[in-house]
């Protein structure tokens, strides 16, 4: 197992390289640049050249790429072009915990709600509750995050005043756990909805399939009550196909988080990504791309490890 994880990690390196090359090329191909964003109409052409010279923006793209790659290998992601003088790593480290917190909480929320609902629906298919959950999850899938977020803010924060409209904590207030949770609830809920809905559907269909299997009939023939049959003989088998989904969901949370973070003014990586993309802040974009790619790799690796834990038929 350990050697398998090691091998898988090694195999991820070419993948990561490929991702960085592609993203570098795409970013450079996009029109505009940091200079245009920063440009002061009064800025002299010579100053502009100096700026471009300093940050190597005039070098051929492949030279820029290898310089960047070399620095990154040393752990240096460079400096932000927009917030000049601030190391990219500092920008990211400041925001990473916020994003991780939001992602983890909404992931747990999605899993803890979706799986029991999916299992119930599979046990009582076509029951009134099952139909209710089905309609609910289609709405959940179909509702765009930003819209749902805005609706929640309007209703719960603006009209009712139950929740803050955004941010991670009340500004200039001493740390308080309740305050943090209070700020977290709405964005976590919004970020969870789409995946929650999809996960419910997948759990339902996977469990429906499992409950038709011969070994479930065997379990019933042993005299076990329905609950025990489902919990002991059904769930573990039903979770096996869901695990792949976990692996895929992890990176998708970053994409989903970008919009949610923007709506809730949540100072996380997603927001940073949107801002730096608009400002063509190349070093920041690249660093975030690498981090997302690493998340993809970790997600897949975690899924494979979980697979091995859940399914004894898999051997390494």
Partner 1 sequence: MTALLEVKNLKTYFKKKKVNIPAVDGVDLKINKGETVALVGESGSGKSITSLSIMRLIPSPPGEIVDGEILFDGKDIVKLTENDMCKIRGNDISMIFQEPMTSLNPVLTIGEQIIEVLMYHQKMSKSTARNRAIEMLELVGFSRAKALIDDYPHRLSGGMRQRVMIAIAMSCNPKLLIADEPTTALDVTIQAQILDLMKDLSKKSDTSILIITHDLGVVSEVADRVVVMYCGQVVEEASVDDLFDEPLHPYTTGLMGSIPSLDGDVERLYSIEGTVPPPEHFPVGCRFAPRCPHAFDRCRNEDPSLITIKGSRSVRCFLHGDKEATL
Chain residues in the site for partner 1 (CB under 8 A): 213-215, 217-225, 232-233, 236-237, 240, 310-313
Residue closer to partner 1 (CB basis): 6 or 215: 215
Residue closer to partner 1 (CB basis): 28 or 236: 236
Helix pair angle (269-279, 235-263), 10° resolution: 50
What is the rounded distance in angstroms from the CA atom of residue 40 to the CA atom of residue 117?
Answer: 56
**Long-range CB contacts for residues 182-185, cutoff 8 Å, separation at least 24:** 184/101, 184/102, 184/105
Residue closer to partner 1 (CB basis): 44 or 222: 222
**Considering the complex, what minimum distance in angstroms separates the CB of residue 188 from partner 1?**
32
**Considering the complex, what minimum distance in angstroms separates the CB of residue 145 from partner 1?**
35
**Considering the complex, what minimum distance in angstroms separates the CB of residue 231 from partner 1?**
12
Residue closer to partner 1 (CB basis): 161 or 223: 223
**Which residues, 6+ apart, have CB-to-CB distance to 39 below 8 Å?**
48
**Region of residue 60 (phi > 0: left; psi between -120 and 50: alpha; otherwise: beta):** beta
Question: For the purposes of burial, counting CB atoms within 10 Å of the CB of 265, is it exposed (0-12), middle (13-18) or buried (19 or more)?
Answer: middle
Distances (CA, A) of 67 to 63, 91, 237: 6, 21, 49
Residue closer to partner 1 (CB basis): 40 or 315: 315
**Considering the complex, what minimum distance in angstroms separates the CB of residue 127 from partner 1?**
11
**Considering the complex, what minimum distance in angstroms separates the CB of residue 278 from partner 1?**
49
């Amino acid at each position: 197992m350990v050697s398998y994880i090691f091998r898988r990690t090694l195999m991820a390196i070419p993948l990561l390289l490929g991702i960085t090359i592609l993203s570098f090329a795409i970013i450079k191909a996009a029109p505009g640049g940091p200079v245009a964003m920063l440009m002061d109409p009064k800025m002299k052409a010579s100053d502009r050249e100096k700026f471009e010279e300093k940050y190597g923006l005039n070098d051929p793209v492949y030279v820029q790429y290898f310089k960047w790659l070399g620095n990154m290998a040393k752990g240096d992601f460079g400096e932000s072009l927009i917030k000049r003088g601030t190391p990219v790593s500092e920008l990211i480290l400041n925001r990473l915990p916020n994003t991780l917190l939001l992602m983890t909480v909404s992931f747990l929320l999605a899993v803890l709600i979706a799986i029991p609902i999916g299992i119930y629906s599979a046990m009582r298919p076509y029951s009134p509750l099952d139909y209710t959950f089905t309609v609910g999850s289609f709405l959940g899938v179909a509702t765009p995050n930003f819209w749902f977020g805005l609706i929640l803010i309007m209703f719960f924060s603006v009209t009712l005043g139950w929740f803050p409209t955004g941010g991670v904590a009340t500004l200039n207030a001493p740390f308080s756990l309740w305050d943090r949770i209070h700020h977290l609830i709405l964005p976590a809920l919004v970020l969870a909805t789409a995946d929650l809905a999809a996960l419910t559907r997948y759990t339902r269909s996977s469990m429906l399939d499992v409950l038709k299997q011969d070994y479930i009939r065997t379990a019933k023939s042993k005299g076990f009550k329905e609950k025990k049959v489902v919990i002991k003989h059904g769930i573990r088998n039903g979770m096996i196909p869901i695990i792949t989904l976990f692996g895929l969901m992890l990176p998708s949370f970053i994409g989903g988080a970008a919009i949610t973070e923007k709506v809730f003014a949540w100072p996380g990586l997603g927001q940073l990504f949107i801002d730096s993309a608009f400002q063509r802040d190349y070093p920041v974009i690249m660093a975030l791309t690498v981090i997302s790619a690493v998340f993809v790799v970790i997600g897949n690796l975690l899924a494979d490890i979980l697979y091995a834990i859940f399914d004894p038929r898999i051997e390494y």
